[in-house]
Amino acid sequence: RIGANRRAPSHAQTLLDHTMMAASAPVSFRLSASTGYSFRRAAGKQARLPAVRAQRALAVSAAAKSYKITLLPGDGIGPEIMKTAREVLEEVGTQYDISFDFTEALVGGAAIDATGVPLPPETLATCQASDAVLLAAIGGYKWDTLPAAQRPEQGLLGLRAGLGVFANLRPANILPQLIDASSLKREVVEGTDIMVVRELIGGIYFGKPKGFGEDEDGNRTGFNTMIYSVPEIERIARVGFETARKRSNKLCSVEKSNVLEVSQLWKEVVTRVHEEEYPDVELSHMYVDNAAMQIIRAPTQFDTIVTGNIFGDILSDAASMLTGSIGMLPSAAVGTDGPGLYEPVHGSAPDIAGQDKANPLAQVLSAAMMLRYQFGEEEAAAKIEKAVSDCLDDGYRTGDIMSEGCTQVGCVKMSEILMAKLKA
């Protein structure tokens, strides 16, 4: 579901405050197995992203709300930044009469070390039974020599598939305090506000057949299958169009239809959905190689991008660096039913793990995103975002976003400052 299109106060600038929002009263955004997406006005309730469990929210009173959250600290810097996010949630919970029932579970390399597999069945079951899942990071050098099917990243892929979260929303929005931290010139990135809508549980990461073999000359080969069905393309296209409608009404579909048959089908289906259901949205098409170049050359030309799994993986990471640091961006993964998956865009950063160098802010903003879009807790989410913005206004920076004239701090100190802002 989607919330209202009203900007928060300047100090509470959220990374998603004008991405998927309606023009006036809150609007419900729901998935239907037969027809896709539908809208209706919500009476006095904050709307949410797709894949919420409304029945759970209805069962609690305004004075004593309780949510079951599965925490997946994962690997690398994950435990450090998750600790901050949990403390932040507990603090806003006391301020807004919200109770959180936290359950930590193993995933990725940590799960491999403890159980031998990257996604233990009990972890998936715990996530499926929760109201939302908050993930930190997965992977690290330690497990890079394992067979591909046993590596930590397979845990993330299995988690996404097991939760049925097919749409990944990744924002790249320039915060005024960090514009000089971008590796590009101010005049290039100023005003950048991109939302990448990435298909998440199809395409080459999940397609079959895949594996290893030999060619006719006896040479060893490796192969994957990039495949999409019409229904898979239709449902992610609708998410893209609905997102564009709540922003600047512009959608760019990215593919490689000059080479790939799967992209030819993608373009055909997206074009048909546009003509039949969203003629009011301005649709453009762009090859993925050109899109990668254009995001660096002139990022402000983009508003909403819809694309497949592997292209979205690459483009969203490239777009995130326009903002100054991948360590500042949250993301959401949602589906037709069940809990959403909320996680920072950045990885596990094993090279700085345990050294008090991690930036916890993207993890914290992911928690805020969960509060707003999964549970409709607008005030609590805005409180967190204001605290993050206040930290930046006061010049505090972790190493990844450090700039001249600011004060560099570690993960622990940034967490302490953030908590002080929340309590102020």
Taking alpha carbons only, the member of 342, 338, 327 closest to residue 381 is: 342
Q: Is 17 a catalytic residue?
A: no
Name the catalytic one among 313, 373, 386, 421: 313
Q: CA angle 125-307-81, nearest 5°?
A: 50
Name the catalytic one among 113, 280, 289, 337: 289
Q: How far apart are the first and last CA of the chain?
A: 32
Q: Is 313 a catalytic residue?
A: yes
Question: What gap in Å lies between CA 305 and CA 45, rounded to an integer?
Answer: 29
Taking alpha carbons only, the member of 300, 336, 305 closest to residue 237 is: 305
- H helical segments located in 223-377: 230-245, 261-277, 288-297, 309-320, 361-375
- H helical segments located in 96-222: 109-115, 121-128, 152-163, 186-189
Contact (CB, 8 A) for 165 and 315: no
Report the C-alpha dihedral over residues 36, 41, 42, 46, rounded to 10 degrees. 80
Q: Is 217 a catalytic residue?
A: no
Contact (CB, 8 A) for 340 and 133: yes
Name the catalytic one among 317, 356, 393, 413: 317
Name the catalytic one among 256, 357, 383, 386: 256
Name the catalytic one among 17, 75, 131, 205: 205
Residue 211's identity, in one-letter code, is G
Active site residues per annotation: 205, 256, 289, 313, 317
